[in-house]
Amino acid sequence: MQILKNQSALALALACTFAAQACAAQTASAHPVPQQDQPQGKVIFSRSTDENGQTTQSAPPVAQPAIPVAAVSTIQDTDRQAVTFTALDLDVHLRPEAQHIAVRALLTLRNDSNSPLARIPLQISSSLNWESIRLKVSGAPTASAVKEIPFSVANLNSDADHTGQLHEAAIPLPQPLAPGQSLQLDVTYSGLIAASAQRLLAVGAPAPAASHSDWDQIGLAFTGLRGFGNVVWYPVSSLPVLLGDGARLFDQIGEQKLRLSGAQFRLRLAIEFPHGKTPNIALVNGFPLPLAVTEPSSSLDQNQEVASVATADTGTTILGFEAPSLFIATRTPHPGANLTAFTLPDDNVSIDAWTAAADAVTPFIQFWLGHQPRSQLTLLDLPDPDDAPFETGALLAAPLGDSGPQAKPDALAGVLVHALTHAWLLAPNSPHPPPAWLNEGVAAFMGSLWVEKLHGREAALGTLESGRVALALAEPESPGQSSGQPLPQAISPVYYRTKAAFVLWMLRDIDGPQALSAALRAYGAYASPASETAKPAAVSFQKILEEASTQPDLAWFFADWVDADKGLPDLGINAVFPAAVADGNWLVAVEVVNNGYAQVEVPVTVRSGLGNEARSVTHRVRIPARGKLTERILIQGKPLEVQLNDGTVPESQSTIHITKLDQPPSDR
């Protein structure tokens, strides 16, 4: 299940083992990607949007001279970090037969730094070419509403794109953009997007693994553009990052997703394709988009090569924690309950296994998240059975054939618990998409609960423990050392997935499964479009949970575990004092300590007897940060051991502490 979430992580992780020396070489010596020659041929379809937002079709534009590309960028990282996109309006024209894309984009940008911004940096894949950039002048008459801006372009080494480089435009402004102020740019660019494993090959990854990880391309049978971190097909402003430099690439992917969260997004799509080769599935940001197809007139000369055109429009949507993505394919559809699978002809026979697995897990998901999903899950068959799976929105793009890595029934069920959770939580055109820690965290939480259902609590806690070590390494030792990553602002999977799953487990134990389930169902209604029973503004998950809870005061928990990152607790048993009382009962005083900075509620268990005489009593205690307390527990029979924590609360060291009353204490 985890392989579905890290995009190219399988091959990227493999590549990173070769990266120490290779990345140094890559930094010192760029791998320049030359400007692509513009494809030859007659343009038969052109569309543009004027300054008033009106879309028109026009004659082929006059070819613009190529813009020279410098070897080195002069933009500073502070300028790249200052730019936040608040709206992207993309007019995308594809010619898949030529692997060609042409884009006109209206971008709304804000200066989020503390200093005026004299230049705007914009980046696209090095396989694409900047053509024109115009500044929309606020308050100007219609005739002068836009101003052409001369700009320079440079190569920027960055493994955020599969070519290993970006084309960065440096756009000087007539007047510096003040902090907090916004502007609009009208930009055009075009080029070819073919499959490229350049960045992985450059760091020594084996060619087959590299090609099956970096499969993004434009093609007649399949177009897959996963966005920043794979192929930068839309404008961005990002820090250059290289593979092998720790987790910086993945952090930058998360940073870009977080900065785009809440931005307005619209995509108008036009696809030219040969007559008879009509695509039947288009997905934008993980949701299907209906295609309107226009075939050439039957009166035309049969020898005349005239393309058919398919068009679509997302309308204005709001981005969640995601990289904008675009998929177009010709596949065989297989509708099912809560999902539709689009397969290659050879993989039709495997669909029964997927639909059977979906049927098996649906009642389990319904208990936790409600009777109906907010969107249909789309399963999209990838071209090669070894291609790395990818998940975004309510889309799972993966090899669907019998030879795929997840084709075993148990594995299919686990994969679909995760994927269907997204379909239950996410709605197309939602005004309030859930933050990553709820979208990804709930999916990881549901996956661990499925393990608990099949194999028991210990096995489920084992899945949590497998991620705890990485979380403990990432967490700050104290709030004074680092602000860490509060969950609403988390950019690293170890926070918004691993830590979030722990948080949901703790809330289940504190509040009970019924309250948590009710809150998850209610939260989905707040995040749904206005066509459902939606609220006019986003509401915090804490408030919804408190309304469903028998314990309405959860402020302490959200303060230390969600809204701020205070690191992990560091728990221990200081001392145990058992004392016999009447009728064979014992009173056990347990002194526990928390050396961490996060307050926590944790189970303390006392056990007595053996075999049929075994008994245990568990109390839940709230241990303050940097504090200790003594809990008294009454149990029948002589106590044999005391346990603090059961693995549900992540700690910086051990997660289970056991004191044998006739032996020294032990941690594990």
Residues 512 and 601 in one domain: no
Higher-pLDDT residue of 612, 152? 152
Q: What is the pLDDT of residues 630-646, one digit of tens each?
A: 999 999 999 999 999 99
Q: Which of 247-261, 285-299, 368-382, 527-541 has the lowest mean pLDDT?
A: 527-541
Distance CA 218, CA 97 (A): 8
Confidence at residue 32, expressed as pLDDT on a 0 to 100 scale: 41
Distance CA 641, CA 262 (A): 51
Q: Give yes or no for a contact between 133 and 40, defined as CB atoms under 8 angstroms apart.
A: no
Confidence at residue 447, expressed as pLDDT on a 0 to 100 scale: 97
Q: Taking the alpha carbons of 359, 363, 368, 369 in that order, is the dihedral positive or negative?
A: positive
Confidence at residue 491, expressed as pLDDT on a 0 to 100 scale: 96
Residues 31 and 83 in one domain: yes
Residues 553 and 577 in one domain: no
Q: Give yes or no for a contact between 651 and 570, defined as CB atoms under 8 angstroms apart.
A: yes
Choose one of 330, 345, 365: the last residue of a domain: 330
Tokens of 163: 């070519």
Q: Which of 18-22, 270-274, 304-308, 410-414 has the lowest mean pLDDT?
A: 18-22
Q: What is the pLDDT of residues 205-215, one digit of tens each?
A: 999 999 999 99
Confidence at residue 30, expressed as pLDDT on a 0 to 100 scale: 38
Q: 346: how many CB neighbours lie within 10 A of its CB? A: 12
Residues 538 and 657 in one domain: no
Confidence at residue 636, expressed as pLDDT on a 0 to 100 scale: 95
**Does some domain include residue 341?**
no
The number of distinct structural domains making up the chain is 3
Residues 21 and 101 in one domain: yes
Residues 636 and 492 in one domain: no
Q: In the 8-state DSSP scheme, what is residue 3?
A: G
Residues 531 and 457 in one domain: yes
Residues 215 and 326 in one domain: yes
Tokens of 588: 């056990």
pLDDT band at 351 (very low <50, low <70, confident <90, very high): confident
**Does some domain include residue 354?**
no
Provide, rounded to the nearest whole percent, the portion of the chain with pLDDT above 90.
71
Q: Give yes or no for a contact between 405 and 231, defined as CB atoms under 8 angstroms apart.
A: no
Q: 324: how many CB neighbours lie within 10 A of its CB? A: 23
Residue 257: burial class (beta carbons within 10 Å; 0-12, 13-18, 19+): buried
Confidence at residue 666, expressed as pLDDT on a 0 to 100 scale: 59
Residues 590 and 650 in one domain: yes
Average pLDDT over residues 289-306: 73
Residue 219's alpha-carbon distances to 95, 338, 342, in angstroms, are 8, 29, 17
Higher-pLDDT residue of 134, 71? 134
Tokens of 413: 């069920």
CATH number at residue 643: 2.60.40.10
Residues 459 and 532 in one domain: yes
Residue 279's alpha-carbon distances to 282, 288, 449, in angstroms, are 8, 12, 38
Choose one of 299, 330, 361: the last residue of a domain: 330
Biggest CA–CA distance in the chain, Å, is 103
* Cα distance between the two ends of the chain: 27
Average pLDDT over residues 247-265: 95
Residues 307 and 441 in one domain: no
Higher-pLDDT residue of 38, 515? 515
**Does some domain include residue 355?**
no
pTM: 0.87
| Domain ranges, residue 639 | 571-667
Strands (E), 323-449: 326-329, 332-336, 339-343, 377-381, 390-392, 395-398
Higher-pLDDT residue of 116, 524? 116
Q: Residue 471 is inside which H or E element, if any?
A: helix 457-474
CATH number at residue 143: 2.60.40.1730
pLDDT at 47 exceeding the cut of 70:
no
**Does some domain include residue 176?**
yes
Q: Give yes or no for a contact between 382 and 397, defined as CB atoms under 8 angstroms apart.
A: yes
Distance CA 522, CA 439 (A): 14
pLDDT band at 506 (very low <50, low <70, confident <90, very high): very high
pLDDT at 6 exceeding the cut of 70:
no
**Does some domain include residue 359?**
no
CATH number at residue 460: 1.10.390
**Does some domain include residue 66?**
yes
Q: What is the pLDDT of residues 434-485, one digit of tens each?
A: 999 999 999 999 999 999 999 999 999 999 999 999 999 999 888 878 889 9
Choose one of 513, 542, 561: the last residue of a domain: 561
Provide, rounded to the nearest whole percent, the portion of the chain with pLDDT above 70.
84
Average pLDDT over residues 616-623: 96
**Does some domain include residue 224?**
yes
Q: 618: how many CB neighbours lie within 10 A of its CB? A: 12
SS3 state at 636: strand
Distance CA 321, CA 308 (A): 35
- Helix (H), strand (E), coil (C) string for 472-504: HHHCCCCCCCCCCCCHHHCCCHHHHHHHHHHHH
**Which residues, in sequence order, are bridge partners of residue 49?**
55
Q: What is the pLDDT of residues 184-197, one digit of tens each?
A: 999 999 999 999 99
Q: Which of 74-88, 162-176, 290-304, 434-448 has the lowest mean pLDDT?
A: 290-304
Backbone angles phi, psi at 183, to 5 degrees: -145, 170
Residues 518 and 540 in one domain: yes
**Does some domain include residue 410?**
no
Residue among 234, 97, 118, 219 at smallest CA distance from 175: 118
Mean pLDDT of the chain: 86
Residue among 283, 288, 262 at smallest CA distance from 375: 288
Give the amino acid at 506: M
Helix, strand, coil share of the chain (percent; to 5): 30, 30, 40
pLDDT at 179 exceeding the cut of 90:
yes
Give the amino acid at 282: A
